[in-house]
Structure formats: C-alpha cells, structure tokens
Structure 1
Amino acid sequence: MSDPVVDFSDAPTKSGWGEAPDGGVFQDPGGNAKKQLENIPVGGNVYKFGKAAVDLVDPPQEYFDGEWWEILLNSLQQVAKMGEQILEVVGVVRGVMSANPGDIIGVLAGALAKSVLSFLISTIQPIQDLVGILYGNPARLDESANMWKAVSENLTALADEIGPDLEAACNDWCSKAGAGATVRGSDLMQTTQFAATSSMGLHDFLLCYKDLAQGVNDLVLQIVSDVVAVVIAALVEAGTKGPFAIPFIAADVAILIASYVMRLIQLATQVAWLIIEGVTLMTAIKECFEKAMSVLEQLANPGSSPPVEV
C-alpha cells in the first residue's frame, strides 16, 4: 500500500491559538495588503460588482449542484452583492456631485478604516483568533474544511486499494470462516465508505459555515466603515450648512439603510446554504447507517450469512 493513501492532512493542528499555520504570528502580510485594494472606493466596487456578476452566471462549485433552489439562492446572493456595490458607488458619486468636502473625506476615512482593520485581522494571528471567537474565523474554518476533504479522498483511495484484494481473498476462502470474513470485510468497506462520505459532507458544511462567518466579519467591518463615513460627513455638513444639512444627511442615511438590506439578504442566503448543507449531510449519514445496518444484522444473526461453497 502506498504512503499517500494514509497521508491525512494535519493542517488544523500545525498551529495553536494565536499562531499562523507556519507557526509564526504574522500571516501573509504582502498578500493581505494586496487584498485591501478591493476596499478602494469606486475601483474596488467595480471589481466586486464584476466578481458577483461572474458568480451569478458561473456559480462557485463548492456546494452548487444546479437544483432550482440552489440557483435561486445563488441568484439572490449575487444580485444583492451587485446592488450593494451600486449603492456604495451612488453614495460616492453623490458626495462628489455635492462638492461637499465632508462627504469625500467621510468616504475616504471609512474606506481607510475598513482596510486597516481588515489588514490587521487577516495578518496578525492573535487578533484574527480573538475576533474569530466572536464572529467566526474563516481562515481556520477553511483549514479544517480542507483537512476533512483530504480525509475523505484518502479514505476513498484506501477503500479502492483494499477492496478488490479483500473481495478476492474472501471468495477463495471456502468455509464458514470465509463467510464470516466476507461479512466482516463488507463491514470494513461499509465503514470506510461511510467515513469518507461523512468527511466530505463535513468539508462542504464547513465551507458554508466559512462563508457565513466571512459575511458576518464583512458586515461588522462595513458597519465600522459606514459609521466613520457618515459621522464625519454629518459633522462637516452640520458645521457648514446648519439646518440645511438635514436633506443631505437623510440621503446618506437612506443609501446606508438600502446597503444594509442588501447585506442582510446576503447573510440570509448564507444561512440558508448552511441549513441546506447540514440537512444534506444528515441525509447522507442516515443513508450510510441504513446500509451498515444490513451488515450488523448479519453479524448479529449468523444464520443470515451468505451461503458458502463446500
């Protein structure tokens, strides 16, 4: 038997709390800095809009099988993302058109606050783990999902490798002991397949949970960004225009509320994905248990063992 068959992933155990996967404290600062370019007003919005449009027609394949309800959920999620980016661009354009320094400063300050916080959380592992206790840690969940995928793939390879040899050996064993070996061999294969199916289900479930955790993290960061932007803009408006600033402040708040509606739709679809994946996993486990029950019944009732050649 080749080593890769039992070479299970140990990624989640390579680092402890506050340590990156390589054992250090900092995690890919250069790559995380590049990611923050997505938070640049207008430019980042156009990129995110385009990505959501691509995912709308070519959805992520981690948990997408093309069922009508999956198509509906994916469409709702991606359209909400596109709507969120449109509304943010509208807010920026409104600020520029009003020629009000407060709007421009507010948008830039909000984007800067979001970028800095995102960089710190994604780069400094102790901060990431601390925030993860409150909102979930997408990076750690991704590591665990990949581990369970590796476990499933290796268990499947293990079953494929020992299955034919085991079956041939049992077929050549012509006695009551051979019948018992056949039953126990079937039990082993059923158990291995059950573990492989369950592991892949856990992988898919964790991916959905990772998406939900990422959505919650993004929402919290966006709230910080929006609060900074709106407060600065409102203060400048009130200081320069007095009571006449109320319509401008109201417009900012209206855009903000509409954006939050789009974000809540995204979170709702991610919760739905999580529930659906959980039900799918439980159904798969139930089917595996039902298959294993026939083997256990044979073990419990020797008279039900398959006939043997004499």
Structure 2
Amino acid sequence: MNNSIKVDVDIGLDILGTKVEYRTGSYNYKFIPSIYIVIEDKLAKSVIETLWDRNESVSAKYIFSGSWMNQVSCLYGFFTYGMELQDSFSIPSFGIVAVNDGDIPEKSTNKRIDSAIKGNFPTDKQKLIKDKISKSVISFNLEINDESIKALPEYNHKRWFEEITLKSIKNRHQEETFCFLRDEREIETMLEVIEFSKSLPNEEFPLTNDKGKLDYHLYYTALKAYRPKNTDHKMNSIHWYVLSAIKEYNLSKWQFYTNDVKQAILKLCDENKDAFISSSFNFE
C-alpha cells in the first residue's frame, strides 16, 4: 500500500527538471524530469517561453523538428522507447507534446498521424502509440490563415503588434503596477517601432525571398535592423520584444493565439509530476 501524500510545492527548478516535496513517513523529495516539447523552430520556442507569467515556471526541454511533418515521427519514436523503458525498468514515460505553428490544416495533421504506422495489422501497442500521438499534437491558433501568405505566424504577429495603440498601452498601465514598458521613453519607442512595422514591406525592406516572392519569414529580420530614435535594450531579443508586447497590450489576441497550447502544457506538467511521484522509480 502506498502511503505517500503529495505536497504540491516545488523546491528547485533547473534545466533538467524539478525537485518536488512529498511525504512518506518522513519529509523527503523526488526529482521530476522535465517535459519535452517538440517544436518547429526558434520562433515557436520564443512564443512558448513568453507564455509564463511571473508566478509560473515550467521545466521543459525542446526538440526542434524543422518541418511540422517530422513531429509525428518524433512522437512515434519517443513513445515507442518510453513504453520499452516502462515495461523493462518501471520508468514512467516522460511527458511530451508536439506544438505546430497553427498554419497546418487539421486534415493534414490527421493524415500525417494516420500514416505514422504502416501495415494492415498493427499491434495493440502500435494502436496505443497512435492514440497517444493523436492526443499529443496541439496547435497555436492563428486569426488569419490565408494559405497564400508565406510565413503565417509571423504575419499574424505583425498584425497583432500593429493593433497596439497608445490608448491600449495606457489602459494596461492603469490596471497593473508592473508592465512590460516602464516609462514614456519606452512607450514612445514602441509606438515608433509599430509605425515602422506598418510600413513593411517597403523599399528598404521589401520582405522578398530569393525567388522574389513576398515572405514574412523576413519580418523579424527587418524589425531587428530598424534603429528607432531612442534605443531600447529589450529590442536585442526582437522575438521576445514583439511577443511580450502583444501579450501585454493586445491580450485578447494573445490568449486566442496561445491559450490552448498553454493549458495543454500545464496539464502535461501535472501528469508528468504525478506519474513520477507515484512511481517506485527515483533518479536519485
């Protein structure tokens, strides 16, 4: 009989995982490994890292898949090996989720999942793995999903960033004592950057790729090259700068974009923690 009582308090966070207090007769702790997040690129990582508020912390490792089509393959290998570890060594399967950028139609994702396991007679374990994959693929939500636009996530970021106004900034500062922008100088700089963003594409930054096609993958490159009248060190990390601005001053669009992913990751963290706390296996 397991008499352990979970005490839901983190006592440490590092790049490997979390130490969590629990009681089993005497005060003790267990090491909870990080969850894994499969993403397409560094921009997706920036979005996920911007999700967390000051009172939130998530210990995660990232697997870069490149194309979204590789994500299902990553999950298949991960779950296959995880089930072998669980059967052979009683190690719980590590928590994992794959996040696509939001520009992939659901039918395309389902087709890719269906093709993950070939053959007319899949085993029970393969059927279980396929079900796990289906439950582990999530997506950001994009407001504009026009397939003719190259780099839809960046295009949506551009639109949401440009919706920020002086009024929305001041309204937010009246609600919160701690905000992304600290003073009038930083507000002036952001409004200047927003006006520059509205001018894109322009003669200096046409946002065209080597085939001469309009490509919003170049949007952040143009923003990083821009020099406003007053410099702001926050712009050294341009992805974080734009995403944090949207989160702070265009909250409804930010929540629409990210909330499904945020809730899925938090749920996975809880499941991962519970699995390792209740397991007889301990890394230390």
TM over 0.5: no
Give the structure with the larger helix fraction: 1
Report the structure number with the largest CA radius of gyration: 1
**If the length of structure 1 is used for normalisation, what is the TM-score?**
0.26
